[in-house]
């Protein structure tokens, strides 16, 4: 994208935590959409380096799960079921098939989750500082500890325990 035409650069620099969060929630979806614009279903579902299951379509589906988890479950306290990973842990990646209907559904779902995150952050003046950060960290920690796999997190190093 020509820097003069980059839609991510049309806003002034954010001031404050909420403005920074909202700017991030505006810019990262634009980045993903710019990277995927004009790709067909086969290109979206193409695995990056076989045998890896990673693809751009898988990333869109995975980010839908991430947005849903952070904003609907952790911050809004909703009982929001997983979208793609209920029956298979890596369903977001493994279910990314080169089918135009699957691609369209993934974009619709991701747009809905991004819109929810942006609206929730705006309406609730989400601030990941002080007690807000502590509550968010506690929620994430609880989810990690409740999961079937435990991880020991060391700066720069991730080890299964």
- Tens digits of residue pLDDT in 127-138: 555 445 545 555
Calculated CA dihedral for residues 131, 135, 136, 138, nearest 10 degrees:
130
Instruction: In whole angstroms, give the CA distance from residue 36 to residue 125.
Output: 30
User: Which has the higher per-residue pLDDT, 58 or 142?
Assistant: 58
Encode pLDDT of 66-117 as tens digits.
889 888 988 888 999 999 988 888 888 899 999 999 999 999 999 999 999 8
Instruction: For residue 146, give both structure tokens.
Output: 């409740």
The three-point CA angle 121-125-130 to 5° equals: 110
Q: Quote the pTM value.
A: 0.72
Encode pLDDT of 104-122 as tens digits.
999 999 999 999 988 887 7
Instruction: In whole angstroms, give the CA distance from residue 22 to residue 80.
Output: 22
- The reported pLDDT for the residue numbered 154 is 38
The model's confidence at residue 125, banded by pLDDT at 50, 70 and 90, is: low
Q: DSSP assignment, residue 98?
A: S
Q: Quickly list H helices, 68-129.
A: 91-94, 100-124
- The reported pLDDT for the residue numbered 155 is 40
The model's confidence at residue 29, banded by pLDDT at 50, 70 and 90, is: confident
Rg (CA), the chain: 17
Instruction: In whole angstroms, give the CA distance from residue 110 to residue 61.
Output: 7
**pLDDT (mean) for 31-54:** 89
């Amino acid at each position: 994208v020509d820097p003069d035409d980059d839609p991510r650069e049309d806003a002034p620099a954010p001031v404050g935590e909420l403005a920074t969060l909202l700017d991030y929630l505006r810019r990262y979806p634009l980045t993903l959409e710019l990277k995927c614009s004009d790709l067909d279903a086969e290109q979206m579902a193409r695995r990056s380096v076989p045998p890896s299951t990673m693809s751009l379509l898988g990333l869109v589906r995975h980010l839908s799960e991430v947005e849903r988890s952070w904003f609907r479950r952790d911050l809004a306290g909703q009982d929001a079921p997983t979208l793609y990973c209920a029956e298979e842990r890596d369903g977001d990646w493994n279910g990314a098939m080169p089918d135009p209907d699957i691609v369209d559904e993934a974009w619709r779902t991701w747009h809905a989750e991004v819109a929810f995150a942006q609206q929730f952050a705006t309406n609730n003046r989400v601030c990941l500082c002080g007690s807000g950060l502590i509550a968010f960290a506690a929620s994430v920690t609880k989810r990690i500890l409740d999961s079937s796999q435990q991880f020991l997190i060391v700066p720069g190093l991730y080890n299964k325990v």
